Each structure stands twice: as C-alpha cells, then as structure tokens.
C-alpha cells in the first residue's frame, strides 16, 4: 500500500472531502484560482518590496561613518538670504572634528553640460567634490585620485545621452568656467536614496570653481579611530552657539528613516493585496454553501444514521482546507518565480531573497489556507445544525 493510501486510510474524511470537491470541479477551480491570486499578490508584493529596499539601501554602503552638514540660511538686513560655507568655515570644521575627513561639496544648477555631439543635457546637475572614489565605484573607466581636466558622470546621465568613458563633454558654469573635459568614469547606478543623487550628476574637481561657496559638507570618520556621533556634536556646538547655522544629519539616521518608510509602504501594499484573499474567502464561502445545499439529503442521511455534528463540520472544513492548500501550493512557486525575476531586475541576482522576503511568501501561503478554513466555518456550522428530518424532507 502506498503512503498516500495509508494516509487516506488514517484520515478517511480527507478522501471524502476530495471526492465531494471533484463533483463541483468548476466551482472548486474558481475558488482555487482566487486563493492563488491572493497568495501570489501577498508573496510577490512582499518579496518585491524587500528586493527594492535592498537595491535602494545599497546606495548607503559607501557612506558608512559619515554625516552631511548643510547650512541654515538666514535673512540679512537687505532682505536677502545668507548661507553657504566658505573656506574659513571648512577649516573650522577640520579643526573642530580633529581627524575627521571634511569634503566640501559645490552644487550648481546654473550650468550647462553639452554632449560630444553638442546637445544640451537639461537634467544634469554639476557637483564639485574631491575624493569621489571614497563613496562610489565606477561602472566603466577609473575614478581619478587627482583630477583636473576630467569629469565623472552618473549612470543615468550616461545612459540617457549615450556618453561613454573617453568622450569629451563641455561644462559651462555661470561666472566660473567653461571648459571641455574628458569623461574619466561612469558611476554604478545608485538609486534615489543616494546622498548626492549621483545618477543625474556630473562631478568636476572642486578646484575648477574660483573662490566657491560650498553648498554642503560630507564629514567622514574612521569607525576604528573615532565616532561620527561625537564629530556631529562637536560641529553643532561650534557653529550653533548663538543661533542655528548648520544642520547635521548622520547617514545612518537617514538610512534608518528610509528603511522605515520602505517597510511602511510595503505593509500597506501587502494590505491592499490581502483584499484579493478576502474575495477568495467570499468565493469559498459561496462554494461551500452551494455544496451544502446540494448535499442536504446526503448530510441528512449521515446525521440520521448517527454521524455527529462534529463529523459533518470536520468534513466541510476539510474541503475548505483542501482548497486553500491546493491554492497555496500553486501560488507559492509562482510567487517565487516572480520574486526571482524582480531580484534579477533590481539586485542582479535572482536568488537574492532576504529572510523577510521569504517570510512574506510563507505568510501569503498560511494566510491563504487560514482564509479558506475560516470561510468554511459558517457553511459547515449551518449544514451540521440542520435537523435530519428537515434535510430529508
């Protein structure tokens, strides 16, 4: 005797439930399809959301132990805003942090970038930053250590304008310089969570700007020799004595905020996907009610010959459970397949499932089975509590 027959012999209710479902193939199939859709929705949204979060969080990898310092702008007597960092401010920061790496950043929107063919790149932003290789890796080319007549461009700028390493681009900054530069490197894609929005940027050496006013500062501390938290407090104490002149934001805090935001969005989308399982519950409840109505005389005979109410309830609940298990068994592989496709698209590795992503798929399967059983409770209770005389009438 096979293991399946031994199992059926031990649980005859399962065999009866399977036979009963096979009598209404169309209704059973529709109920299973509804469960499959719900399981796939929850599993795919959960696993896909985790893959997207993993992709965006990679933008923070190069910024460990860093903080960004931004100026707080104030209105002067003439009604204009004052702010920005001068070379004197940068030197004060270096003295205050005592050993931290201070990298000033210049961001200019009043600039024009032209491709090798002479077309203007409208969406590119010019940024001046030294030691770029500390935070980013090159997709092609090499990020230079000491650069004067070369630029590094973001992946989106390169892709949208068909620019490659070695091409010549023209950069003109209002009131500062207008020169032709060789593209030394194209950066790896960073995503929208990147601190400097590098995907849409063209990086030039800070030395190209004459007496610049810095728009922000990156403070980096080696975790083996110092603390970024201590450096941040020292800067706030130095610059915010009388009034708030700077705002310091540690990258780890920004990363935690983004992570919480992604988790909230993911849970909301999973909640939306769970609605499909509620639809499945209604379908299963309808299937079981119709089945109970069609089998009233059969159930009445069972009750008349001594079947207890619990036996009738367990039979109908078994039918509901089978629908849920079959739907989940079909839905899980589909969700895994779609999740692998999303992992390949976003992370570059189809098997890069996180623990949380796999948990969402498991939750979808359990939710599918639980919804099915729950949907069968009322039809089972109603059928079991009908008097045998009424059922046989």
For residue 368, give the 3-state DSSP assignment: helix
Task: Give bridge partners of residue 127 from the DSSP assignment.
Answer: 107, 203
Please say whether the beta carbons of 188 and 155 come within 8 A. Answer: yes
Rg (CA), the chain: 32
* pLDDT for the residue numbered 60: 63
Q: What is the C-alpha to C-alpha distance for residues 292 and 23, in angstroms, rounded to an integer?
A: 12
pLDDT reported for residue 6: 66
Residues (pLDDT < 70) of the chain are: 1-17, 20, 56-64, 76-82, 192-193, 295-296, 347, 388-393
What is the pLDDT, as a whole number, of residue 241? Answer: 85
What is the Cα–Cα distance from 153 to 355, expressed in whole angstroms? 35
State residue 168's pLDDT score: 92
The pTM of the full predicted model, rounded to 2 decimals, is 0.60
| Rounded distance between C-alpha atoms, residue 12 and residue 240, angstroms | 78
Q: Is 222 helix (H, G, I), strand (E, B) or coil?
A: coil
Please tell me the distance from the alpha carbon of residue 312 to that of residue 295, in angstroms, as a whole number: 11
Dump the DSSP string for 226-284. --HHHHHHHHHHHH-SSS--EEEEEHHHHHHHHHHHHHHHHHHHHHHHHHHHHHHHHHH
DSSP string, 99-125: S-EEEEEEEESSEEEE-TTS-EESS-E
Q: Which two tokens stand for residue 107?
A: 């961001």
Q: Are 215 and 46 in contact (CB under 8 A)?
A: no
Q: Is 10 exposed, middle or buried (0-12, 13-18, 19+ CB in 10 A)?
A: exposed
The secondary structure of residue 78, as a DSSP letter, is: T
- Do the Cβ atoms of 103 and 166 come closer than 8 Å? no
User: For residue 80, what pLDDT is reported?
Assistant: 65
């Amino acid at each position: 005797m096979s293991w399946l027959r031994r199992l059926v012999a031990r649980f005859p209710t399962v065999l009866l439930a399977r036979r009963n479902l096979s009598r209404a193939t169309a209704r059973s199939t529709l109920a299973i399809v509804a469960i499959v859709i719900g399981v796939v929705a929850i599993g795919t949204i959960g696993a896909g959301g985790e893959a997207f979060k993993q992709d965006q969080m990679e933008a923070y990898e190069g910024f460990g132990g860093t903080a960004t310092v931004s100026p707080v702008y104030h209105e002067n007597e003439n009604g204009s805003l004052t702010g920005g960092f001068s070379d004197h401010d940068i030197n004060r920061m270096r003295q205050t942090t005592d050993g931290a790496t201070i990298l000033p950043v210049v961001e200019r929107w009043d600039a024009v970038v032209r491709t090798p063919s002479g077309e203007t790149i409208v969406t590119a932003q010019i940024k001046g930053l030294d030691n770029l290789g500390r935070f980013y890796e090159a997709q092609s080319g090499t990020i230079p250590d000491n650069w004067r007549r070369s630029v590094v461009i973001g992946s989106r700028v390169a892709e949208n304008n068909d620019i490659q390493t070695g091409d010549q681009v023209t950069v003109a900054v209002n009131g500062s310089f207008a020169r032709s530069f060789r593209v030394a490197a194209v950066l790896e894609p960073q995503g929208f969570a990147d601190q400097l929005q590098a995907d849409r940027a063209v990086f030039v050496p800070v030395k190209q700007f004459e007496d610049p006013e810095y728009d922000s500062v990156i403070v980096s501390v080696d975790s083996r020799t110092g603390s970024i938290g201590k450096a941040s407090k020292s800067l706030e104490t130095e610059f915010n004595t009388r009034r708030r002149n700077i705002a310091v934001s540690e990258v780890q805090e920004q990363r935690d905020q983004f992570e919480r935001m992604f988790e909230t969005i993911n849970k909301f989308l999973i909640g939306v996907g769970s609605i499909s399982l509620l639809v499945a519950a209604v379908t299963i409840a309808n299937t079981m009610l119709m089945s109970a109505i069609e089998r009233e005389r059969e159930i009445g005979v069972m009750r008349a010959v001594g079947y207890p109410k619990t036996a009738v309830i367990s039979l109908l609940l078994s039918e509901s459970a089978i629908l849920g298990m079959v739907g989940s068994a079909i839905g899980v592989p589909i969700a895994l397949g779609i999740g692998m496709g999303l992992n390949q698209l976003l992370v570059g590795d189809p098997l890069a499932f996180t623990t949380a992503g796999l948990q969402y798929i498991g939750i979808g399967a359990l939710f599918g089975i639980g919804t099915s059983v729950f949907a069968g409770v009322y039809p089972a209770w109603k059928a079991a509590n009908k008097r045998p005389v009424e059922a046989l009438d």
